[in-house]
Amino acid sequence: MKKRYLLPFALLALSSCSKDFLNQQDPNAVAITNYFKTENDVLLAVNGLYQALRSGSTIGESSTMYNEERSDNSGRNDNQSAAGEPFQFNDFSILPSNTYLKTHWTAMYDAIARCNVLLTHVDKVAFTSEAVKERYKAEAKFVRALLYFHMVRKFGDIPLSTEEVTSKEQANEVAFRQKEDVVYAQIVKDLTEALASDLPDTQHDYAVGRTSKAAINALLGQVYLTMGSTIANESQANWQKAEQHLQAAYGMRKFGKLNEIPYADVFDVAKKNSCRELVFQVQYLQGDQNYSSSIARNYQARGETLNSQFKSTGSGEVAKLDLIKDYEENDIRKAFSVKFASDPQVNDWFVTKFRDASDGAGTNGWGGNDWILIRYADVMLLLAEAKVNLGKNAEAVVLLDEVRERAGLGTYAEALGDADYRSKYPTLKDAVLHERRVELAFENHRWFDLVRNYTAEELVAYFKKKNQADYGNAKLSNISTKDRYFPIPFDEYKLNPEKMFQNKGY
């Protein structure tokens, strides 16, 4: 059976094994070269790409460790469980040997490999409709771009592969770190080509949980916005393209003003298939032990019942006091998103944004929450950020005010009349970043927002100005410029220290 190298970089370690042993035929398996025969085979493979996004080791609901807990929004105070490895992310003490980091790297490249396999074989299958085939290819390119976008922002220069890897020699050719701008160029290429398909404008015109042109435009806009802020050259051109694609995504919405959609409705399990704000989400199945969501159950604090019928014995997902203090008075998002758990064993704020206390989820906590990756408030605030970068402040304020209005807050102009607000957020750019923090808290955007808006040096200064008492046991003093990126997992680095060189400071 022909081998498929899911992780070519890690599998180089197998080179000392016998080729005959590795190439044994498995009578119970279907070789990839023999799998893709019909349109339905391709559809099943496309479904497998979305399934890969469900994992907490990729970008699913429990991937908070790699995003939100790296930021100033949430974290954990337990530095002992699991050998303290989860705590390292929040403590800025992460080691290249961290097994959670290696698992994340491996799972992400495994998911990328799924995309590459489909795109390698899809043109060999006869389709009754060429448009359907192009649609499936567009979906694979969107998922691949999404995964690479996460990886390049977390690790910097990374290996880049766009074809199925089937030999050790081929693996050797791609097992090196490509420059960030090369990776971004591939992400842009994938998304631009995906836009040329006949995918519908919204997931509701196709299937909830599937790619749409609104999702592609939103992601491409964020990619250009990130490039404009983090890649040295062509910032203005990238910000202009960011505005173009984010505006296109915003123009595809199926509602008028954002306040037509109550904030609580965005996270209502009963409305997850109909809420017009949702652009792209990862689906979970309520009541199913294997495919249900566990976020409501896992985020529940001891003694509380708001999130789930499951009786928690832990502290849930802890919200940092630094974030709690950042909510403005009368912001309805605070009461919905966080609550103070007074149980003596908790005595802290926990996250309540993701709830399913229904009988369908039951006391096992097998919830029906979908994990939202893109929604329109996110798109609007990214668009506002792009406009600020282009000097279009008045247009940015209109978008900012619309988000604030739904939250029960006054306009930006009114907020500037408050000395405390004006002191905390002295510029419009600061105000937009603040609004993204409280609007999108716990949705895995905060770390990426920070590294997009601050250089490594500015990020260190930002964190060191914070009050350690508002941050729990994780030590703010540990942060340094190296923490702009994760380390390359040790097992990847040691295979070829020259081509898989380690990030500075690790």
The token duo for 37 is: 């025969």
Burial zone of 66 (CB within 10 Å; 0-12 exposed, 13-18 middle, 19+ buried): buried
Predicted pLDDT of residue 206: 95
DSSP states of 232-253 as a string? Answer: SS-HHHHHHHHHHHHHHHHHT-
Domain span(s) for CATH 1.25.40.900 in the chain: 221-280+373-453
The token duo for 411 is: 């306009």
Which neighbouring-strand residues pair with 351? Answer: 338
Predicted pLDDT of residue 11: 34
d(CA 212, CA 198): 9
d(CA 36, CA 46): 12
Residue-wise pLDDT tens digits, 192-217: 999 999 999 999 999 999 999 999 99
Predicted pLDDT of residue 1: 38
Amino acid at 173: E
Chosen CATH of 1-179+468-506 out of 1.10.150.120, 1.25.40.390, 1.10.510.10, 3.20.20.70: 1.25.40.390
Q: What angle do CA 290, 83, 97 make, to 5 degrees?
A: 90
State the CATH architecture for 221-280+373-453. Answer: Alpha Horseshoe (1.25)
Residue-wise pLDDT tens digits, 54-92: 999 999 999 999 999 999 999 987 767 666 899 999 999
CA 57, 62, 67, 73: dihedral to nearest 10 degrees? -160
Which neighbouring-strand residues pair with 340? Answer: 349
Residues of the chain with pLDDT under 70: 1-31, 79, 81-83
CA nearest to 160, candidates 225, 112, 119, 118: 112
Contact 137, 196 (CB under 8 A): no
Domain span(s) for CATH 1.25.40.390 in the chain: 1-179+468-506
Predicted pLDDT of residue 171: 87
By residue count, the chain amounts to 506
Predicted pLDDT of residue 344: 95
